[in-house]
Structure 1
Amino acid sequence: MSCKIQWDGELIQRYTINGPRYTSYPTAIQFREDFSQEDMLAAVSRSNASARPLSLYFHIPFCNTVCYYCACNKVITANRRRAEPYLQQLMREIEMQGQLYDNSREVIQLHWGGGTPTFLDSSEMTLLMHKTGKHFNLRNDDTGEYSIELDPRESSPGSIALLRGLGFNRISLGVQDFDPAVQKAVNRVQSEEMVRGVVKAIRDNQFHGLSMDLIYGLPLQTLETNRITIEKTIDLNPDRISLFNYAHLPQLFKVQKQIDESQLPSAEVRLEILQQSIEQLNNAGYQYIGMDHFARPEDPLCQAQNNGELQRNFQGYSTCGGTDMIAMGCSSISKVDNTYFQNSKNIETYQEHLAKGELAIERGYALTDEDRLRRHVITELICHFSLDIGKVERKYGIVFAEHFSESLALLRGMEQDGLLEIRSERIQVTDKGRLLIRTICMAFDSYNMNRLSEQVPTKDTIYSKII
């Protein structure tokens, strides 16, 4: 598979609007509060009948200090005991969810996110993993994809060895930027020596894979400082790199008001930083997966994409397609059969529900047949930059050109600009169009097509900017 990106600054500026990341379709904005427990139980019943393997996600919302750029659902506290009541109710949720699913279904993917999962101490992490293994069928042969997000400031050789012993085999390490001035501006100070020490411990404990998260567009970032950050990251040789665009939305995320807007790089500089970063990563041998993800050619993500098996879920690009995802903890979103459902975002409300012996589901969505069709199309494009029209017609019993006439009309201008090629049997995204795949996908999004057809202003903050 070609992994090239052709940079066209004029087209990028023209097509960079606000749009979904498509970790689900429909997106969470469409979730409804009238989604009932009966809807959820019906989905679980269909899920058990399918015997599909499972993915588990656990949200640990606690952080010791606040990073000013953060848009995650989190609780900032230095009091480690704040985690005790939450952990108690999380384990109650594990029991309740575990009773719903057939225990013969293997958990092939597991992820702890946050917040900072290692805010929990060693005994709490051990207890949580053992509780999970008691109620779900975890693999014990190290063949599952079991990952955890790490903050270098909350990691040590001992804690990393503990995580490996608990069964984790992949690490996602939050680095963001190596420049001391940038780190200070976003209140996330961590030395290069600290990060290198954590990476060494990860290698020493023979984790299967290391992913590193970086952010471009942070205050005080320049072309030169970011060039050095990418250079240092490449030197650490992670298997995967996520290069996220900082979305400055202080009206939605109050902590971002701590950032001095005058220190943010201009839109032009941000694009230059992105272009330079892509060139550095390509020259270092990283393959562009899509959106903001890069990986070594031998990494399972690349292999899955090359084999046409790459999927997308609430954690981003994934090798574990064909699973149902059970998400636990406040704000977490499950995908079970053809439904999504989300727990309460408020930690107190979440705990109150579980304390009363009831699940904390706050809203959800049951996909229609049309949603499933459009999800398939969007997933194929965002994962593989290509769509086999004949396969879609056979699977869903439609005439593609008729069914998607409005979508194809929206794509004609993009085709004329060289972002994609539309043929009778296939839609193929070009190297020039890959960075704009979210815009392309919006043409098939019945809930967001108006953002293309009506030229919705980019000040709209329902979604972040595409680039």
Structure 2
Amino acid sequence: MPNPHSTAQDVHAVDFDKALIARLAGNGPRYTSYPTADRFSNGFDQTQFLSETQRRFSAEQVRPLSLYVHIPFCDTVCFYCGCNKVITANRSHAARYLDYLEREIALQAPLFTGRARVEQLHFGGGTPTYFTDQQLTRLMASLREHFAFTPATEGEFSIEIDPRKVGSETVAQLAALGFNRMSVGVQDFDPVVQHAVNRIQSEAETVAVIEEARSCGFKSVSIDLIYGLPRQTLGGFAATLDKVIAIRPDRLSVYNYAHMPHLFKTQRQINAAELPSPDTRLDLLSLAIRRLTNAGYVYIGMDHFALPDDELAHAQRKGTLQRNFQGYSTRDDIDLLALGVSAISKIGGSYSQNVRDLGSYYAQLDAGELPLLRGIALSRDDLLRRSVIQQLMCHFHLDLQQLSTEWQIDARSYFAEEWQALSMLADDGLLVLDDALLQVLPRGRLLIRNIAMQFDRHLRESKVMSQAPPLQRYSQTI
């Protein structure tokens, strides 16, 4: 029986079994939260949010805090994108949005004054650098005025970058503002694929931004790739991987393209006939895993790779890795306050999402209200299952004895209904299971979403009662 305290080699081992993946992979949540966002309710209001925040951030201690700021604007549309975005060349929209962001900051900050210290910051979008250097400076000044920040040498302050829109002056300015981590969108360097998805981006401009970031002292650079895009081939993607490996980013995300034009209108501009076959998609993934691991990267989980000395790999080995709405995080169980349209916060035992459109966002702030749309207060069962799913997604094992002690339950009895499905996955070689331990094996790690789904009570109940949303609302698990 494997030891729950796996070695570094065990933690990062992954076995690509194409036949097994083809047989078992289906649709399912990514578990950036549990319960998933489709379970949030419009009944969760400002009163509940304030109550949970005041309970979590009492005057008794200063707690670490993560801030996320959503900047939805883009100059041009990438056809594959499923993010909440506004495509416009009218820069006055950015100026107005910044005004309202500052209103939301001013409303939120008193809940955390003297009680929170910002250890993580992430600007996402959209394209965060749609804001001018002056607007980004103003936004950072507002955040620092209202929140206490840990020193830059200790904090993780990151921003998503579109290399097509950023010059060396902006990179230097971001460093001066305290940003020390950068996520760079690439997706694929193959010009045929770039034309098919309306994102023309050269290797030279990408390398230039990354080199400037390194010269300005950025501690970590991450590159995003996507497999399964239209007109993608093994040869073309292999060339992209060679170029990316030569750049040597600290981290890599290799996402599976989720073609859901019924949910994302921009994807309707993609010719579905040009998408790779399911068999080819798996070959693309296998190629990426093989090339990256041969180049010295380790598999973190759920599309993510990192160099062995990167903080993500260290956090996984130490047991402090966390999963949130930005992917994987190095800080264990940190509260997240999200600002801006559609942004989702995680405060204690609750999730809350802001309204999704600019008109509603502005109207609620004009009324002096937090721009909340929906949310959920977690039950004890939700909190327990969230803990289990987090442990599996981040560390690939579950110590059932420790779980029983921590939650004052008999884990084997509590999850009796899940045991049968888990036993079937064990028969397929995805995991080892007994009364003391659930250990995900290397051939099960690519299918970790399938394993986590067994603990999703809300998903099981919706299936039993034939309630929406069906699994088609979710992306493929691999």
TM-score above 0.5:
yes
TM-score (norm 1): 0.97
Q: Distance in 1 between matches of 2:25 and 2:464?
A: 14
**Secondary structure of residue in 2 paired with 1:183:** helix
1:174 alignment counterpart: 185
1:27 alignment counterpart: 36
Residue-by-residue CA offset, 1:166-220 (whole Å, 9 max, x unaligned): 0000000001100111001100001111111111111111101000000000011
1:291 alignment counterpart: 302
Residue-by-residue CA offset, 1:5-30 (whole Å, 9 max, x unaligned): 11111210121111111111001011
TM-score (norm 2): 0.95
Q: Distance in 2 between matches of 1:123 and 1:51?
A: 31
- Tell me, yes or no, if structure 1 residue 102 matches structure 2 residue 125: no
Q: 1:399 aligns with which of 391, 398, 410?
A: 410
- Measured after TM superposition, the shift of residue 450 of structure 1 is 6.3
Going from structure 1 to structure 2, the CA distance change for 1:293 and 1:454 (only over 3 Å counts) comes to: farther
CA contact (8 A) 1:443 1:452 kept: no
- Tell me, yes or no, if structure 1 residue 114 matches structure 2 residue 114: no
- Measured after TM superposition, the shift of residue 331 of structure 1 is 0.2
After superposition, residues 209-248 of structure 1 pair within 5 angstroms as 209-248=220-259
Q: Distance in 1 between matches of 2:70 and 2:133?
A: 17
Amino acid at match of 1:312: R
- Measured after TM superposition, the shift of residue 52 of structure 1 is 2.0
- Measured after TM superposition, the shift of residue 455 of structure 1 is 12
Going from structure 1 to structure 2, the CA distance change for 1:24 and 1:316 (only over 3 Å counts) comes to: same
**Secondary structure of residue in 2 paired with 1:148:** strand
Q: 1:369 aligns with which of 371, 375, 380?
A: 380
**Secondary structure of residue in 1 paired with 2:443:** coil
CA contact (8 A) 1:48 1:102 kept: no
Amino acid at match of 1:250: P
2:95 alignment counterpart: 84
What is the count of residue pairs matched by the alignment? Answer: 467
CA contact (8 A) 2:400 2:412 kept: no
Q: Distance in 2 between matches of 1:195 and 1:315?
A: 22
Going from structure 1 to structure 2, the CA distance change for 1:234 and 1:454 (only over 3 Å counts) comes to: farther
CA contact (8 A) 2:63 2:115 kept: no
Amino acid at match of 1:39: Q
Residue-by-residue CA offset, 1:68-120 (whole Å, 9 max, x unaligned): 00000000001111111111000110111001113342100000000000000
Q: Distance in 1 between matches of 2:441 and 2:462?
A: 22
**Secondary structure of residue in 1 paired with 2:376:** strand
- Measured after TM superposition, the shift of residue 452 of structure 1 is 8.8
Q: Distance in 1 between matches of 2:51 and 2:465?
A: 38
Which ranges of structure 1 fall in alignment gaps of 5 or more residues?
Answer: none
Q: Distance in 1 between matches of 2:404 and 2:231?
A: 50
Which ranges of structure 2 fall in alignment gaps of 5 or more residues?
Answer: 1-7
Residue-by-residue CA offset, 1:212-233 (whole Å, 9 max, x unaligned): 0000000110011011111111
Q: 2:23 aligns with which of 1, 10, 14?
A: 14
2:72 alignment counterpart: 61
CA contact (8 A) 1:47 1:324 kept: no
Q: Distance in 2 between matches of 1:142 and 1:151?
A: 25
CA contact (8 A) 1:176 1:213 kept: yes
Q: Distance in 2 between matches of 1:164 and 1:452?
A: 48
- Tell me, yes or no, if structure 1 residue 73 matches structure 2 residue 84: yes
2:280 alignment counterpart: 269
Which consecutive segments of 4 or more residues in structure 1 shift more than 4 A? 450-456
1:4 alignment counterpart: 13
Residue-by-residue CA offset, 1:436-456 (whole Å, 9 max, x unaligned): 000000001101236899999
**Secondary structure of residue in 2 paired with 1:342:** strand
2:317 alignment counterpart: 306
Identity over aligned pairs, percent:
48
